[in-house]
Chains A and B, each alone.
Chain A
Amino acid sequence: MQNRANNFIPMAQVALNDADLQTAVSFGTQAGFNKRQAAMFADGEAHGQAMRQQAAAIRRRALNNLPELLEQAEANMQANGIQVLWAVDGEEANRHALEIARRHAAQSVVKSKSMVTEETGLNHALEAAGLDVLETDLGEYIVQLGEETPSHIVVPILHKTKESIRDLLIEKAHMPPTDDPETMARFARETLRPRFLAADMGISGGNFIIAETGSLALVSNEGNARLVTSLPRVHVAFVGIEKVVATVEDYATLTQVLPRSATGQALTVYTHLVNGPRQPGEADGPEHVYVILLDNGRSAIYNSDYCEALACIRCGACLNGCPVYQATGGHAYGWVYPGPIGAVVTPLLTGLENATPLPYASTLCGMCKEVCPVDIDIPRMLLDLRRDLVAQGHGGAVWGVGMKAWAWGAKSPTRFGLGGRVAASGRRFMPQRLPGPLNGWTDYRRTPQFAAKSFRQLWQERKGADDEQP
């Protein structure tokens, strides 16, 4: 996907002025957040927190052993009859998929939701090679019809009102007019069903890979992921290398903490495991199953102080809880992953210089860390990214000069106190509009007033004692 993260500020402004988007995003995030609260703490606050810690430890243990677990996963998947391919970057992953399609003379492809394939731009690559690709997750199908991009990890069209979805289905898919979501969903079912049945190849993502058994784990509600992985004769799964977990016990915790955080469900409707292609004697299932393990910048993150970002299980809870995401929606973040986790992984996966506003798109309120089912310290990483941005010269010249000046003043109590007295005596002349980059303050707030006498002056007057020099 094209990366527009450097345009966050103007895109956020567009989003703030889009009344329909504001309504939809506000409603969607609130609903998601409330459902998460209810589900995570259904058995009490202490239990919910304990499960978060259990899940957090599972992910970190897996990351700590990542190379060994990948080898074990590969060996077990191969023993099950799954073919395992590795891809250093998105282009290589896409090439693997194309080669597989050619090998099996696959022309039509049905896809279930995979954020990783958005990273690699798989759909465009397949279409450019003449394949016919259909997104089958309802939200992704609508995104595809509208030639848009998803705006949320779990609910791709969170930013769209029911009316705009209706209009899109009428215009692009020739749906008979209706305002009823159930009718719209039936229409999509009937329209897409023949495509599932006729498809040569199914492409899915992967929520987890269980190393102990060589299983690919998927969670879904609609049934399309099951159709994609059961009907066509070839199934290809794209999975980030960080998704491996060690044991079935680890998987049991994660596959339950994920839906609670994402949609407020104890389990998604379909919690399934692909163990391999159809066995002898089985009447359905793919003849060939491939898993493409994708790096695409993850190994670089692994070797950095940001490794815990790889613990993410893509639940979207941080998006729903983030007051910035609630205000701007997902498109403003400019790339595949929006919200707090997006603000961290976009610069890390695509380069700091390609996402300079994102680490600053936060008040560091900490809600993301509070709702993360695996306790990722996103605020800590945002601060570190800001440090890295400044150190690499992306801080902006004006801010740099301003900060140096401020530090020069603030590191000396004499200058600090003097500065305060100057500002206080000039307070009658405080401008209605602050200069330069500070003018954003006065767009929404009155300028704060320096007091006639600072605290340190009042203290000294009270004590009437000599100054104690530091």
Chain B
Amino acid sequence: MSSRERILEKLREGERPFSPSNPPAFYQPMTPVADDDPAALRARFVVEAQKAACVVHPVKTPEAAIGVILHLLGGETAVSAWDLAQIPIPGLADALEQAGKTLVGQDASARVGLTGVDAALAATGSVVVMSGNGRWRTASLLPPVHIAVVQGNQIMPHLESWWAAQKADGLEHTRQRSNIVIITGPSRTADIAMQLVMGMHGPQELHLILLG
């Protein structure tokens, strides 16, 4: 008998441990969001993201977004970016080229990573980043500075609403994304005598360019 069979058989040996119950018709969201109109969600997102130690750059135009990116890059010539077609800023590729910046894919020495996001969560100031073609994981992980481009209409109330949307689309799509990470702020640790240090193994800074 395989270990699998031994374990499953053991679990089925006795009676079930608890009385049977059904899932609730409605799951209470952990972090309630009272006001879910787009302006309120956006405002809440900004507040929560800042609380999580993100730097939020609200911009109205692609040119302004490009301006922020170039400013954050400063003198760095290398940027570890997603395939730029996946980042919703028209003209970005040309602007970076004209500024003499090189796209280095997953080069671990790059100091700045640039990505889009798949969704944003207002309740916690989080961004949802899914892996895929042209969307490498390391861009939001290795460089000390991560710039994430968020569109206003990507902001949802909370994690529960994001999952509801995934389910509505069919979970098979979600499952095909090999890696999904919900990012809330830059990396950190409090392991040393409970003192909070921002920036541990992941990025030390998280900049959110908020479009629209």
Max chain B Cβ within 10 angstroms of own Cβ: one of A32, A158, A302: A302
- B115 at interface, CB cutoff 8 A: no
A395 CB to closest chain B CB, in angstroms? 27
Q: Is B124 a contact partner of A222 (Cβ separation < 8 A)? A: no
**Bound Cα distance A253, B31 (Å):** 10
Set of chain A residues within 8 Å of B189, measured between Cβ atoms: 138-139, 185, 221-222
Q: Which of chain A's residues has its CB closest to B138's CB?
A: A284
**Bound Cα distance A257, B70 (Å):** 39
Q: Is A282 a contact partner of B136 (Cβ separation < 8 A)? A: yes
Q: Which of chain B's residues has its CB closest to A158's CB?
A: B194
Q: Is A230 a contact partner of B141 (Cβ separation < 8 A)? A: yes
- A285 at interface, CB cutoff 8 A: yes
**Bound Cα distance A459, B34 (Å):** 62
Among B6, B28, B32, B200, the residue within 8 A (CB) of A189 is B200
Set of chain B residues within 8 Å of A223, measured between Cβ atoms: 141, 187, 200-203
Residue interface mask A139-178, B partner, CB < 8 A = 1: 1001000000000000111101110010000000000000
Q: Is A224 a contact partner of B200 (Cβ separation < 8 A)? A: yes
Among A155, A186, A272, the residue within 8 A (CB) of B180 is A272
Question: Which residues, 157 to 205 on B, are CB-close (under 8 Å) to A?
Answer: 159-160, 163, 166-167, 171, 174-195, 197-203
- B21 at interface, CB cutoff 8 A: yes
**Bound Cα distance A230, B187 (Å):** 16
Q: Is A271 a contact partner of B181 (Cβ separation < 8 A)? A: yes
Q: Is B7 a contact partner of A86 (Cβ separation < 8 A)? A: yes
B18 CB to closest chain A CB, in angstroms? 5
Set of chain B residues within 8 Å of A267, measured between Cβ atoms: 124, 126, 159, 182, 184
Set of chain A residues within 8 Å of B134, measured between Cβ atoms: 283
Q: Is B159 a contact partner of A269 (Cβ separation < 8 A)? A: no
- A206 at interface, CB cutoff 8 A: no
Query: If the complex has contacts A256-B31, A256-B159, A267-B184, are A88 and B7 also in contact, measured as CB distance less than 8 A?
Result: yes
Residue interface mask A392-422, B partner, CB < 8 A = 1: 0000000000000000000000000000000
Q: Is A279 a contact partner of B190 (Cβ separation < 8 A)? A: no
**Bound Cα distance A63, B198 (Å):** 37
How many interface residues does B have (CB within 8 Å)?
A: 76
Question: Which residues, 38 to 58 on A, are CB-close (under 8 Å) to B?
Answer: 42-43, 47, 50-51, 54, 57-58
Interface of chain A, main secondary structure: helix
A457 CB to closest chain B CB, in angstroms? 50
Interface size class of A (residues with CB under 8 A): 35 or more
**Bound Cα distance A58, B180 (Å):** 23
Q: Is A282 a contact partner of B178 (Cβ separation < 8 A)? A: yes
Question: Which residues, 117 to 145 on B, are CB-close (under 8 Å) to A?
Answer: 123-124, 126, 131-138, 141
Taking A88-B7, A273-B179, A279-B132 as known contacts, 20 extra A-B pairs with beta carbons closer than 8 A to each other, sorted by chain A number, are A60-B21, A63-B17, A71-B8, A87-B3, A136-B201, A189-B199, A193-B108, A213-B174, A230-B138, A248-B163, A249-B27, A249-B163, A269-B183, A271-B126, A271-B182, A275-B179, A282-B131, A283-B106, A284-B137, A300-B10
The 8 closest A-B pairs by CB, nearest first: A223-B202, A256-B30, A307-B17, A272-B181, A223-B201, A222-B200, A139-B191, A299-B10
B residues with a Cβ closer than 8 A to A are 2-4, 6-8, 10-14, 16-21, 23-24, 27-32, 52, 105-106, 108, 123-124, 126, 131-138, 141, 159-160, 163, 166-167, 171, 174-195, 197-203
A-B contacts, 14 listed (Cβ < 8 Å): A27-B193, A43-B31, A51-B30, A54-B28, A61-B23, A86-B3, A221-B189, A222-B202, A266-B123, A267-B124, A270-B182, A276-B178, A279-B176, A283-B105
